[in-house]
Structure 1
Amino acid sequence: MVSDDSRQPPLRKDARRNRETLIGAAREIYAERGIDAPLDDIARRAGVGNATLYRHFPGRAELVEAVFRDALAAILRAAEEARTAPEAWTGLTTYLDHVFGLLAAERGTNDLLTTDIQGVPTLDALREGNRLTLDTLLRRAQRQGTVRADLTVEDLLFLLAALGRAVPAAPGTWRRYLALVLDGLRPAAARPLPVPPLDPEQFGAALRDLDTGPGKGAHPELPTSS
């Protein structure tokens, strides 16, 4: 469940200003350098002391939640909308186009969606919603005859995870490579696959070893993470 700050007592005006300044500084630094940037650098850019930062955000996860909550909630809404599309293929391609557009837009969002950071409530909700969305759309598309019948959700997640980790290396060309991946899902392109698919346990282990960017392993519940 997404956290609700409305239950928190209102902040004093100066404290609210410090919090907003910290969030703005973190957003800038994460976009420039990724979410592994030191918290000390964020406090310095915001013009406050470390004690002020930690008073508002006791750990990295709390700050990440505040910075990215709206963007992650937008992906959750896109996922819910995709699941209701009459044609599953259209829902799938529209949803992935939205997600990969965010991955290419800035480094911070890509880091967040393709690494294994824990304790971010909106991100946890997105991981669950993303897997549900992909599994639902995949099964429906197979029944509708628009996706090859031998594809599993682990196959799809692994392909998308690998592509998502590569987006920062060529942010202007992701549409080309996503189109190539999607074309390979179509029945017309299907040939017998040479080996069985990964089971869920093998899939999780494989994505933890997919270390081509900041952090160790992608998160398996995101299209670009494990």
Structure 2
Amino acid sequence: MINISYQPDPDTLRASQGWGRCMLTIEQRAFWHDGTAQTAAPLLWTWVDLLDHLGRYWLDIHTEADWTNDRMASAMREGKDFWALAEEDWAAMPAQVADKEEAKLQQFIRPRNLAHALQGLNLPALYCYRQGTDMLICPEGKPPLHMKCHNFAQMLEKLGDQIDLGIGQTTHSRAQDAQRNWRNRNQTPQNCDKPRSLLGRAQNNRDLTPIN
């Protein structure tokens, strides 16, 4: 369904700063890649920001939490553009209220959009939302996918460990911070089999029922 390949840069200095080649495929079709769809190749970039994002937001990614708006949650489940619905709602609100609503949505969305971590790249969004023991994955422009939470966690852990290993014993402060956050993510894959919030701040989401 989803596959992520990663290879650190062969130059050890560049690798110590998080440089490497990565490609993410969905249903055997390139989604994050270099080149065109016909000539897709692994993308050469520094992945230190992604490692940092995974470390900082591991609990958010793997914790079930309520959407701020039920209508947008329904649109997300159906693979529709929930941002367009949000803009419609905000346009009908006073500016101050709209700003607060946008801030709440951004606070919820950003940790769960893996593409948001990759500063400087214009990659399609990859949203991930926990639903019970499952993960709903919403690639921008594609139908949502369903994946068991523990499988999704193992996939991300493999990627994070590969980036971490490629960085190695770095002296680059940004890479050191990312490694520290990754290694202190305080989450193990087996916890993903528990449908309730790991932080105790959210109950099972009644509106986001698993897709069969």
TM-score range, shorter chain: under 0.3
Of the two, which has the highest radius of gyration?
1
* Structure holding more strand per residue: 2
- Bigger relative contact order (CA 8 A; separation at least 6): 2
Q: Taking structure 2 as the reference length, what is the TM-score of the superposition? A: 0.25
Structure richer in helix, relative to its length: 1
With the length of structure 1 as denominator, give the TM-score of the two structures. 0.23
